[in-house]
Every structure is written in structure tokens, then in C-alpha cells.
Amino acid sequence: MPDAPSWLRIPRPDPRHALPEALRERDPRGARDCGWVEQMTPFVRSHATSDGWILDPFCGFGSTLVAAHLEGRPCAGVELDPARAALARERLALLGAHASRAPVLAGTLAQASAREALSVHGRRFTLCLTNVPYFGCDGPSPRDAAEAAQLYATRWYEPYLQGLRDVFAGVHALLEPGGWCVAMAQNLRVQGTFVPLAWDVARVLGERFVLHDERLLVYERDDAAPHAAGPTDRSHEYAIVCRKGGAPVDADAARLLLADMDTQRFRFIVYGSFVRVLEGDPSAAPNDVDLLCPPDDAELSRLLQWLESQGFRIESWNAAVTPPVSLAALGYRHYFRARRLGRDGHALQLDVAAVQDDAQWSGLRGQTRVVGGLLAR
């Protein structure tokens, strides 16, 4: 959306595209969380390709799929509640959408079987467009077993965020490189407690995608009834826009950092795609720098502490890590990630792994070709 405003005013729902009342009455909750087609249409027009598929991993009653169908785009949805998925299928059928171009799957993208079911017939997913389920939106307790299975009914916030993480990992696996992911979320109050849901959704998305932009969506509403999850009228929401595939690493900054590490007498081996950069390959465009270190707690901790002093955040499996570290205690962590963002906008990411034992380290050193004195010490 080049030169677009940072906010979008969403018009009142067109009755022709609303969930039919006969279907709404069949939902035990009265379809009170059915999204607006008009909310999704601008992003279908701006971020969908003419032949790529649109994916909604939390499709609910199919509003995203309706928007895609009306714009002539193929689409697919995933909904955990089978009854709600069936209502979405009926809604699409009433609009003339063929099931082959707008399938709705009952399940979750956190499961490999769901991802496999959607990836058949050569489908190319180029846009994920969704409203995330809101944590705590039905108060302290779910109303029935079907609702208890929903992500928004998760009892605790951190497991809820992990559930989002698992689903968006499935989205990432299905999206083509360069594909867009647009997720709508609002900060909430749950039983009087402020919950920065929009910011946490952005953080979860940023673990796998490259955060690109945001839009503030402002809704035209006549009612002032409080939203179920808090005392606001839910008249605004954030659209968090991100993309699959990272920007190429700043090669010059990475070379300088490796040279500084060499000066500090750290022992490391550069491997992976950044080796091609060090060898002078002009076509190489890696997203990060991969490092191997010897299995030495003290040396690995010294390196991670030094990286912290150079402005890096140290994390592993999307959780912050504060050195010193113990490889024995953190044996399930295959690598540590160091990320840094400069005020010039340049980002640098290192993935740091330790080999299993000294024998493996010695063997790797013997096999590694030194480039510029930086591949091994």
C-alpha cells in the first residue's frame, strides 16, 4: 500500500455481505464475534496477487473468505470448531463460491495434517489475512466444550501466546517466500486488567516474519456497547503487516563484527550462506550469520556477554537468555540467536551454536577452509 495513510476508516457493514440471520441464529453464541467483510477488503485489494491464494488460519464464519471471493481471489480457511466451519461453508455457498476455490477446513494449522491438506493441488499461498482470537473475550469461563477448545478460551496468557505462535508457524510454512501476513489485533482489558495483545501479537509475528508496517483501523459504529473483553466500544484495531523472508544481512557490519570477535580472541567457525559472502560471491544474500563455537560454557558465556555489550539481544527458542549459560542445563536449545537493530535502521542477526564435544570441534577445525582469517581460530 504505497503512500497509503497510516489509518483506514472502515465503513459500516454492507447488509448484502453480512452473515445471514438464519446462520447467525444457529450459532450457540449468536455469532457475536463475526468479523466485517469490509475490514478485510482493503488488504485483499492491496496485498493479494491475482493468482495467489489467501489464507485465514482463524476463519470463524468466513468473513475474510467472503472478501476474497468478492474480489475474485481463491482462498482457504481453517476453523477449530467444526460447527462454525460448516456455517462458513454454507455462507460461502450462498454467495456462489465454489468449494474448490474457497475450502474451509475444520482443524488448526498447528497440526501438520492441516497444513498438508491445504497444500494440495499446487496452491500458492501469497497472503495470510486474519483476525486473531482475543484472549479472555468470554470472561473467566468458556460456555461449552466447543468453546473451551478455542484458543481465545485458553486459561493462561502465555500458553495462549504459544498457541498463536504454533499457528503462525504453520502459516509461515504454507506462505511462499515474499508472501504477506496481515493480522488484526487490539489491546484489551480482561476483567479490568490491561493486556497489550496487539503488541504481543507483533512480537510473536516478528519471531518468524519481517515486520513491515501497521495500519490503524477505525470502525464506524452506532452502538456504544462495551466489548466482551473490556470497557471500550472496540471502535479501532491494529492491522500488523509482515512478510515472509528476511532482508539481506548488512554484510559490511557483519564483517566488522567478525573482525572484532577475532580481535577479542573468540573461537568460532563461520558456516552456512555467509561463507559465500566472505569468499566474495556477489550473488550471496544471507539473512544472518551462522557461527559454531567449541563446547565450553565459559567461552560461550563470554561471547554472549560480549554480544550483549555490543547492543545485541540474546534469545533462544524465542525466549530471552541472560548469560552466563550452561550447555548442560540448556541442552535442548540447539542455538542462541543474537539480534541487533541500529539507529540507522540496519539489523544484524547471528545464530550461535556449540558443537557436542571437543573431538567434533577439532574435526571441524581440520575440515574448515579459512577465509580472510575469520572462519576459524
Task: Tell me: pLDDT of 223 over 70.
Answer: no
What global pTM score does this model have? 0.83
pLDDT given at position 302: 95
Q: Check if the beta carbon of residue 277 is closer than 8 Å to that of residue 253.
A: no
User: Which domains are delineated in the chain?
Assistant: 7-243 (3.40.50.150), 251-367 (3.30.460)
Task: Tell me: pLDDT of 372 over 90.
Answer: no
pLDDT given at position 261: 95
Apex CA 246: angle with CA 304 and CA 206, to 5°?
70
Using the structure block, give the residue that is written with the C-alpha cell 501476513: 181
pLDDT given at position 340: 94
pLDDT tens string 247-282:
788 999 999 999 999 999 999 999 999 999 998 898
DSSP secondary structure string for all residues of 60-124: TTTHHHHHHHHTT--EEEEES-HHHHHHHHHHHHHTT--TTTS-EEES-TTSHHHHHHHT-TT--
Can you name the residues that pair with 350 across neighbouring β-strands? Answer: 289, 338
pLDDT tens string 154-193:
889 999 999 999 999 999 999 999 999 999 999 988 888 8
Q: How confident is the model at residue 349 (pLDDT cuts 50, 70, 90)?
A: very high
Q: How confident is the model at residue 114 (pLDDT cuts 50, 70, 90)?
A: very high
| Averaged pLDDT of the chain | 88
Q: Report residue 129: phi and psi, to 5°.
A: -135, 120
Give percent of the chain with pLDDT exceeding 70: 88
